[in-house]
Amino acid sequence: MSTAKIRLYVEHPLGQGQTVPLDRDHAHYLFGVMRQGTGDAVLLFNGHDGEWRATVAQASKRSGELLVEDQTRPQQNPPDLWLLFAPIKKARTDFIVEKAAEMGAARIIPVQTDFTNSERIRQDRLQAHAVEAAEQCGGTYVPEVTDLHKLDRLLADWPEERKLMFCDEALAGEREAVHTDERANPWAILIGPEGGFSDAERARLHALPFAHPTALGPRILRADTAAVAAMTVWQQRFGDWT
């Protein structure tokens, strides 16, 4: 029995004895790039049936078929954590999405703030980054990347039971990380744009009953660093790291 090293996300039910047809991209990747052939094993997950070992039943340049054999890992959903961030330069935005998937966010919401430059994002491209990160990190879940939302509207419609860890760089060095023990609640983390929040946004955020202003150490972190640091703090305190 060959050991599977390749992990693929597929949009297909997974269960013992299932056959999974491969689309052109997956066939090209598996057989062209990775030089796999009939009988070779790959790991599959679809976001809700756990991880399964499958073997190549048919291989051609542009298509193929896998046969699902046995479950290698049960489904594990991440904690109910949203990551809200203001899109920045392309490479760093890609990194934030990748890191949110690795760190176990359930949903990734790009937000437009007063000082955000982006008017639009490529949601499909960001979603593809999340899939790739999930394949790489061994998770069985792919976080959903939503379209760009205006922060003020999102806050106006906020579900009150969801706590918001609001990372305010203006607090750098002034306050310890998030003070609360509300482990049971769903949460969201909000990372500000590179230019910080506007005074109006900051005042509004500090006044919200569900918001927990949080400092991430004494230095000012770039948005992508802050995203990983905030998710680390959160996962250790409330999430699936303990």
Report the residue number, 15 or 138, with the smaller CB distance to its own copies.
138
Is residue 61 close enough to count as binding its own copies by CB under 8 A? no
CB of 149 to its own copies, least distance (A): 25
Return the H-helix or E-strand segment holding 235: helix 223-237
Is residue 202 close enough to count as binding its own copies by CB under 8 A? no
Which range, of 57-65, 101-109, 111-119, 122-130, touches its own copies by CB under 8 A?
101-109
Is residue 179 close enough to count as binding its own copies by CB under 8 A? no
Where does 107-162 show beta strands of DSSP type E? 107-112, 144-145, 149-150
Single out the residue of 102, 114, 152, 182 in contact with its own copies (rule: CB under 8 A): 102
Nearest alpha-carbon partner for 64 in 12, 128, 129, 2: 12
The half-sphere exposure of 203 on its side-chain side, counting CA atoms within 13 A, is 3
Is residue 137 close enough to count as binding its own copies by CB under 8 A? yes
Q: What is the DSSP string of 50-103?
A: -EEEEEEEEE-SS-EEEEEEEEEE---PPPSEEEEE---SHHHHHHHHHHHHHH
Residues that bind its own copies (CB under 8 A): 76, 91, 95, 98-99, 102-104, 136-139, 172, 176-177, 216-222, 225, 228-229, 231-233, 235-236, 240-242
